[in-house]
Amino acid sequence: MKNEKKIRKIISIIIGIIIVLFILLNGDFISNATASVSNINNSNENNNVDGSLSVHFIDVGQGDCIYINQGEYNMLIDAGNNEDGEKLVSYLKSLNVNGFDYVIGTHPHEDHIGGMDDIINNFEIENYYMPDKLSTTKTFEDVLDALDAKDLSYNVPKIDDEFKLGDATFKVIYSGDDTNDINDSSIVLKMTYGDNSFLFTGDATSNVEEIILNKDIKSDVLKVAHHGSSYSSTTEFLDKVNPKYAVISVGKNNSYNHPASITLQKLSNRDIKVYRTDLDGTIIFTSDGTNLSVQTNKTDTNG
């Protein structure tokens, strides 16, 4: 009996040691797991989607870049600043991206299309979209030259145009027509995947927000326009979108003081969970058509 008790005691000690070693050796896994959050669970199981959708709000400092994947299909919205090109190419290739079904430059500002020539030079692109808004900047000329070198033409979307990325559906909410303001020329897109939805706004200001209030813009996730500027995100617009999550793509300690305190207060007043690239790094949403999960990946590269 004494021997049996000793054996059981030894076994218990060994098991305890194994558990402690497992926790120590797998600390990264555990911390990553707790970084994922599932806060939305829509009850409709008949969402007619296959597989998962991922949306990467890539940390490019004071700029925008969004990578979307659904199955074998890829899409890119904007490409950060000029100095972000090589980093974006490296990040996308680390995800085994070889090409894009759709690439969209929401409007011709450097912090949205700066790295676009690198994207065009390094990946196969089926369709390139941008607004009917020309610019005389070298950044814009670099994009046109890269398209020309690949013998690619660009498309100008129209309001209410729709296209598919696998089982995800995109609708053009606004296409930048009839405006002289570069920010207000931003292409605004709504993406629907099963029961989940995202609204991508570029740098659209309150002028555009007012125009699209009569559209179906209710979405689970809002890409806050113009890096959280006070000139966007009106109360009427936020109430109509009624998001659960808001993402602000913004540079750390930027000279514009983005995001504006008034914008953050509006989001807080509505209990909207806010993610920011300056604080959270690259932000990745994953959807199975019913549930949304969020993972952040903080680095020290935000500028």
Residue 53 phi, psi (nearest 5): -120, 135
pLDDT tens digits in sequence order for the chain, 303 residues long: 444 444 444 544 454 444 434 434 443 323 333 344 445 565 455 567 889 999 999 999 999 999 999 999 999 999 999 999 999 999 999 999 999 999 999 999 999 999 999 999 999 999 999 999 989 999 999 999 999 999 999 999 999 999 999 999 999 999 988 788 999 999 999 999 999 999 999 999 999 999 999 999 999 999 999 999 999 999 999 999 999 999 999 999 999 999 999 999 999 999 999 999 999 999 999 999 999 999 998 875 576
Q: What is the CATH number of domain 49-297?
A: 3.60.15.10
Q: Are 207 and 186 in contact (CB under 8 A)?
A: no
One-letter amino acid of 137: T
* Domain ranges (residues) in the chain: 1-35, 49-297
Burial 127-158 (b: 16+ CB within 10 A, else e): ebbbbebebeeebbebbbebbeeeeeebeebe
pLDDT of residue 116: 99
* Rounded distance between C-alpha atoms, residue 123 and residue 25, angstroms: 38
3-state helix, strand, coil split of the chain in percent (to 5) is: 35, 25, 40
